[in-house]
Structure 1
Amino acid sequence: MQNLEFEASWDKSLAGKDRKEIEEIFHKTCNTESQKVSLTPIWQAVNHKSELLITVLVHNFTEKELTFQNKRLAYMEKEKICAIHTFTLQTLIIKPKVSMPWTFIFPAESLKNHATFQNGHLVIVNI
C-alpha cells in the first residue's frame, strides 16, 4: 500500500490548506500503478531569479529506494520541452511504496521555451 510522507522541513512549514490539497491529490493518484515512478503536478511558478519552480507529488511505486542522483528532468507543456535540467539532490530519498511532494527548481538558463503553466507535467528523461 502506498503511503504519503513529507520531508522534515516540509512537514514543519507546510500550511494546512496546502497539506490538505496535497493529501487530496495523493488520494486521487496513489492507486495508479501503471508506472514504477510517477510525477503528479501540484504547482508551478517562476521566482524572482527567473527560476522555474515545479512542485510535484513523486510516487515511488517500486520496492526500491528512489534517489535523484544525476536525474535529468524536463518540464513539458503540449509535448514541448519548456525546461530541462539534471538534478543531484542528496536530501531527496523516497522509500519504497512512498509518495512525497517536492519542488524541483530549474535554473533560468535551463529554460528552453516560455512556460504558460497550462497542462504542464514533469518527466524523467532517460539518457
Structure 2
Amino acid sequence: MLGFFKRDKNKIAKDGGDHSVDSMELLGEKTETTGKEVKTSLNIPPNANIGQEERYYYQFLNNELPLLKENQISLSGIEVHTEEDGRVLVKAFIRNSIAKGVHFQEPIPLSLLGPNEERLARQIFDLTILGELPPESSTPWLFVFEKKNVFEKEIPQTDWKLAFEVTKSKGPHALDLEESWEKSLADKDKEKLEQLVKTVQPPKPGEVNFMGLQSRLDDEGALHVTLLIRNGSEKNVKLEQLPLNVEDASGEIVAKGVFKLEALEIKANTSKPWTFIFPKELVLKEDADLSKWKAYVPQG
C-alpha cells in the first residue's frame, strides 16, 4: 500500500524517528542471539504500484537507516501527511532484523507520537495483510489513521515517530480458573483446558468473546452450558449481567435467559470457563440436537 500521497521530489530524507521492539515481545518469535548488528535490505511489496524513481527513493532512504540489533521488529518513519477529511497518512519502513521471514499473526495497535512522546493518534492495524516480512528486510508501508483516531489537529512534520504499542507485562494468553473451579476440577481436566487455551487462536486485542465447551440437558430438563469466556483486552473485565441465547444443530434457539453474575471477573489476556444453567422454564426445545450448538449474546 504505497503511493497514496505524493512526496516532494526535491526532498530525499525521512522525517520520522525510529521505534524498535524485541521480536519475542511483539510476535512471540524466540530466536538465538549472537550480538551482531543487522543491515536490512529493501523489500518492495509485490502489489506496490510504484515506478523506478520511487524505488530509487526508497532504496536511498533504506541505505541511510541505522543498523538494528538482532531479532528486532522496527518502525522507521518516512513522512506524514494530513488529508482534508482529517485522516493522517504515515509512510514508514517496517523492518525485520531476524534471520528468517516472519508474519504478524494478529492486528497490532500503533501510536503516532510527537516530539515529547505525546500521543497524536492511535489505531489498530491489520498487518497480517503484509504476508511474510523477508529475513533482514525493510518494507515501506502506508498507515492510514482515520479521523476518529486522531487526537490533534496539527501534526508536526518532523520529530515524530510511529510506535508499536506493546504491553511488556503481557505474556501468552492464559487460563484463569475461579477458586471453586481450581478446587473441583481434576488435574487432567485442568491440563486439557490449559492446552486448549494455548492452541486456539487468542481473541483479538480488546475483544471479549465466548467459546462453547460443553452442553447437556439434565434429568429435570435444565440446560447446562459451559463456556470459555475469553478476554483479549489489556484490562480486567467484570461481567455483572449477561444475556445468552443457545442454538442447537438445526439453528433454532433452544434456550434464552439473562444471568446475574455478581461481578464475575475475567483477568486481562486470559480465558475463564463458566457454566450457565438454564432452568426448564427457559428451555424452549426439549428435544434439542446438541451434537452441534452455539451460545451468544443477542444483539439489540
Whether 2:264 is the aligned partner of 1:92: answer yes
Give the structure 1 partner of residue 107 of structure 2.
none
Instruction: Please give the residue correspondences for 1:1-127 in structure 2 after superposition, counting only pairs within 5 Å.
Output: 1-33=172-204, 36-78=207-249, 79-90=251-262, 92-113=264-285, 114-127=287-300
Structure 1 counterpart of 2:275, which letter? T
Structure 1 counterpart of 2:299, which letter? N
Give the structure-2-normalised TM-score: 0.39
Alignment coverage as a number of residue pairs: 127
Q: Name segments (4+ residues, structure 1) moved above 6 Å.
A: none
Structure 2 counterpart of 1:31, which letter? P
Matched residue SS, 1:109: helix
Alpha-carbon deviations, 1:83-111, whole Å to 9, x = none? 11101111521122111111111111111
Structure 1 counterpart of 2:294, which letter? H
Residue 21 to residue 57, structure 1, CA distance change in 2 (3 Å): same
Residue 109 to residue 53, structure 1, CA distance change in 2 (3 Å): same
Q: State the 1:33 CA deviation.
A: 2.3
Q: State the 1:68 CA deviation.
A: 2.9
Report the structure, 1 or 2, having the larger strand content: 1
Residue 32 to residue 48, structure 1, CA distance change in 2 (3 Å): same
Q: State the 1:82 CA deviation.
A: 1.1
1:106, 1:42 → 2: CA distance? 16
CA contact under 8 A between 1:22 and 1:42: conserved in structure 2? no
Structure 1 counterpart of 2:182, which letter? D
Structure 1 stretches lacking a partner, 5+ long? none
Residue 67 to residue 51, structure 1, CA distance change in 2 (3 Å): farther
Structure 2 stretches lacking a partner, 5+ long? 1-171
1:28, 1:77 → 2: CA distance? 25
Matched residue SS, 1:125: coil
Residue 80 to residue 67, structure 1, CA distance change in 2 (3 Å): farther
Q: State the 1:123 CA deviation.
A: 0.6
CA contact under 8 A between 2:203 and 2:230: conserved in structure 1? no
Which structure carries more relative contact order (alpha carbon 8 Å, separation 6+)?
Answer: 1
Q: State the 1:61 CA deviation.
A: 1.0
1:100, 1:52 → 2: CA distance? 20
| Farther off after superposition, 57-66 or 100-109 | 57-66
Give the structure-1-normalised TM-score: 0.85
CA contact under 8 A between 1:3 and 1:97: conserved in structure 2? yes
CA contact under 8 A between 1:77 and 1:117: conserved in structure 2? yes
